[in-house]
Structure formats: C-alpha cells, structure tokens
Amino acid sequence: IKNDKSLFFAKPQTLKAVKDVSFKLYAGETLGVVGESGCGKSTLARAIIGLVEASEGEILWLGKHLRKQSAKQWKETRKDIQMIFQDPLASLNPRMNIGEIIAEPLKIYQPHLSAAEVKEKVQAMMLKVGLLPNLINRYPHELCQLKQKHRKHFLKP
C-alpha cells in the first residue's frame, strides 16, 4: 500500500478517514491493524479489499493495481485477500449452518468440486480452526451458546 487516502464526504467538509498510510507485506507475513475507535482501521481494510474507493494512492497486490481491476479480476483476487470484521457473528448469515457458511466460498471459487469433496474440505477447515466436525450442522448463534455454556462450567466446575 502506498499513500492510500480513503475519503468520505460530508457537509460542509471532507472527512479524511485514512491519510498517508504506506506499508509492504512479504510472503508469509500477516498484518494486524490496531488503533483507537474511529481512526480508520476498517476504512483502510475496506479500501484494500475494494469495498470502498480510495481517492488517491496505490493499492498493489502481487504487482497488480487493485484500484484498476475489473469485477472479474477482483473475483480472482478475493480468493487470496480476506477481512475479518470486528463483529464476526454479525457478518454470518444466521439462516446458514456452519458447514454451509464454510462451504460457500468453496462452491463459488471451486465449482468443480463434488459435494463429497466440499464436505471433506469443510471438515478439514473446521479441524484446522479448532471446531469439531460434529458442529457442522450447528448455527452461528448456537456456537456462542456452547461457548458460554463451557465458560460457565469452567468458572463453576
């Protein structure tokens, strides 16, 4: 990222949500953006993944100018770039179970996979992040309830 400026307009002045942010990430590195509430963390992330338009600067990913990409090119790029929203539960579809939520990007970006292959990959991903495969048919709010139940048992064994 070089000199990203994501601007929002309000009357009577322009709000500079992000000003002169520059950084480089190398293969294998992970970046966490930390700051006070309202300092522009989410705006920066949204500009990087193309959810808001940066008014100036360059956003490059593997040598590609992201601000100049077509919708088709963005679809390819989004396979590699992700954003974790501040309230992940609010960003999950409450009508979809955990298995369906995890399977959705596989079905979009790897449509050639059979149903059995998708299920196998979903279960592998669940194990990778510490979710037991028997939770595959649970809904997001049920995971929160399970977590609260386990916390209660931990505090009062």
pLDDT digits (tens, 9 = 90+) for 89-119: 677 788 999 899 889 988 988 899 999 999 9
Average pLDDT, the chain: 79
Measured distance CA(108)–CA(102) in Å, rounded:
11
Q: What percent of the chain has pLDDT over 70?
A: 76
Q: Are 70 and 50 in contact (CB under 8 A)?
A: no
The residue that leads in pLDDT, 153 or 80, is 80
- Whether residue 4 is predicted with pLDDT greater than 60 in this model: the reply is yes
Question: For 25-71, what is each residue's pLDDT tens digit?
Answer: 888 887 788 888 888 888 888 888 888 887 788 888 888 888 888 88
- Selection from 63, 135, 127 nearest residue 98 by Cα: 135
Q: Hey, which bits of the chain come out as E strands?
A: 2-5, 7-9, 14-16, 56-58, 60-61, 64-65
Q: The pTM is what?
A: 0.53
Structure tokens of 6? 């994501």
Measured distance CA(42)–CA(40) in Å, rounded:
6
The whole-number average pLDDT for the span 118-126 is 93
DSSP state of 85: -
pLDDT of residue 46: 85
- Whether residue 150 is predicted with pLDDT greater than 70 in this model: the reply is no
pLDDT of residue 80: 77
User: In which element (H, E) is residue 113 found?
Assistant: none
132 CB contacts (<8 Å, ≥6 apart)? 126
pLDDT of residue 6: 62
Main-chain phi, psi angles of 65, to 5 degrees: -80, 105
- For 14, 41, 67, 71, 96, the CA distances from 34, given in Å and listed in that order, are 24, 7, 24, 30, 31
- Whether residue 121 is predicted with pLDDT greater than 80 in this model: the reply is yes
pLDDT of residue 115: 96
Rounded to 10 degrees, the C-alpha dihedral 121/125/128/133 comes to: -90
